[in-house]
Amino acid sequence: MNGTVMRRRLVPAATLLPFALLLTACGGNSSASTDTDGTGSVTLDVGDQKGGSEAVLRAAGELKNLDYKIKWSTFTSGPPLLEAVNAQAVDIGGVGNTPPVFAAGAGSKISVVAAWHGTSKGDAILVPNDSKLAGPKQLKGRSVAVAQGSSAHYQLIASLRAAGLSLSDVKVKYLQPADALAAFTSGKVDAWAVWDPYTSQILRAGKGRVLTTGEGVTNGLTFQVAAPSALKDTKKAAAIKDYLTRLRRATAWVHDHQQVWAKVWAEDTGLPYDVALDSVKRTNSTRVAVAVDKPLVASEQQIADAFTELRLIPRKVDFGDFVDTRFNAGLPPSTTPARG
């Protein structure tokens, strides 16, 4: 599907389904495993998502001259990736700001070891172009599609709270992106709380507009989460340190090579190039590597407490028990502004 067609009409939901499954917020198992050339006796098992860490590291030239091997396992989303971390099936993997909270609530053995701070402009509540809704306060009594346990789930909660509403004030439809996309474009829901690149996809297609974003109400954090057992292994911990250093450089590389990365990302995921570039400009290129520090823990604690209060997490979570700060050296605080 070329960019010209994307501007005229929305790609049918069925056509988008394979891409939607790559980015769904819940469910799914490891779907692929590939090795990265390297030397040495240590193999780092890394959980990834399509168009994720492996793709950006390769594009930035950061997979060269490794003195350890990387075995990549591809997952549909953060929650099953963290299940694999808990089961010690992978040593480390990347997720958004909400899956670790749910994993912690389930008592999973995980440790947040690295973080990036970006804008939350791509986390949006979308409404159809002809919607009469002018602000989040008007969502009261309306139906909103959202993926349960996703970053969009918390963004919806936070946006409603900022407008003086609660989750019970809206009719929540828990739908994964493929189903939510179909419901949104067919008018079966009044709004859709979602993340980039879906936000860019809807806007580029001209089939919706932004009612509100997560900017100012969510923390814009993404994480690398490791298995405590891997961190206890001296050789694997050293490999993780090097891997994180390379990933930080690669993430910074995106900011100065947005068009190059958008092309790679589009090819890797099947996204139209113009949608990928919009998403890169709005979200991906804004990320800054930051420390796993006390303000970060406090911010994630707010998310955990919100879900506990709503009884979506079964027990009180002390998020500080699920972080490891050993890789913080030289990094700015988590409150560092996102890139412009």
Confidence of residue 5 (pLDDT cuts 50, 70, 90): very low
Q: What is the DSSP letter of 311?
A: T
First and final C-alpha spacing in the chain: 30
Q: What is the pTM of this model?
A: 0.86
Which sign does the torsion angle of CA 322, 238, 59, 39 carry? negative
The strand pair at 43-49 and 69-75 is best described as: parallel
pLDDT over 50 (residue 169): yes
Confidence of residue 33 (pLDDT cuts 50, 70, 90): low
Whether 158 and 198 map to the same domain: the answer is yes
Q: What are the pLDDT digits (tens) for 299-316?
A: 999 999 999 999 999 899
Instruction: Determine the pLDDT at residue 167.
Output: 95
Domain assignment of residue 20, yes or no: no
Whether 187 and 231 map to the same domain: the answer is no
Whether 178 and 302 map to the same domain: the answer is no
Last residue of a domain, one of 213, 233, 258: 213
Domain assignment of residue 15, yes or no: no
Domain assignment of residue 11, yes or no: no
Instruction: Determine the pLDDT at residue 24.
Output: 35
Domain assignment of residue 301, yes or no: yes
Last residue of a domain, one of 213, 243, 264: 213
Domain assignment of residue 328, yes or no: no
Burial of 330 (0-12, 13-18, 19+ CB in 10 A): exposed
Q: Residue 102 belongs to what domain range? A: 31-119+219-322
Instruction: Determine the pLDDT at residue 32.
Output: 53
Instruction: Determine the pLDDT at residue 93.
Output: 97
Whether 87 and 66 map to the same domain: the answer is yes
Whether 223 and 276 map to the same domain: the answer is yes
> What residues contact residue 139 under an 8 Å CB cut-off, 6+ apart?
125, 133, 160, 163, 165, 169, 170, 190, 191, 211
Here the CATH number for the domain that contains residue 182 is 3.40.190.10
Domain assignment of residue 80, yes or no: yes
Domain assignment of residue 44, yes or no: yes
Whether 128 and 148 map to the same domain: the answer is yes
Q: What are the pLDDT digits (tens) for 182-224?
A: 999 999 999 999 999 999 999 999 999 999 999 999 999 999 9
Whether 35 and 110 map to the same domain: the answer is yes
Task: Say what percent of the chain tops pLDDT 70.
Answer: 89
pLDDT over 60 (residue 90): yes
Whether 68 and 149 map to the same domain: the answer is no
Whether 175 and 136 map to the same domain: the answer is yes
Last residue of a domain, one of 171, 190, 213: 213
CB 159 within 8 A of CB 217: yes
Whether 247 and 312 map to the same domain: the answer is yes
Mean pLDDT, the chain, whole residue set: 89
Whether 156 and 300 map to the same domain: the answer is no
Instruction: Determine the pLDDT at residue 130.
Output: 95
Domain assignment of residue 297, yes or no: yes
Whether 89 and 206 map to the same domain: the answer is no
How many domains is the chain built from?
2
Q: What are the pLDDT digits (tens) for 117-147?
A: 999 999 999 999 999 999 999 999 999 999 8
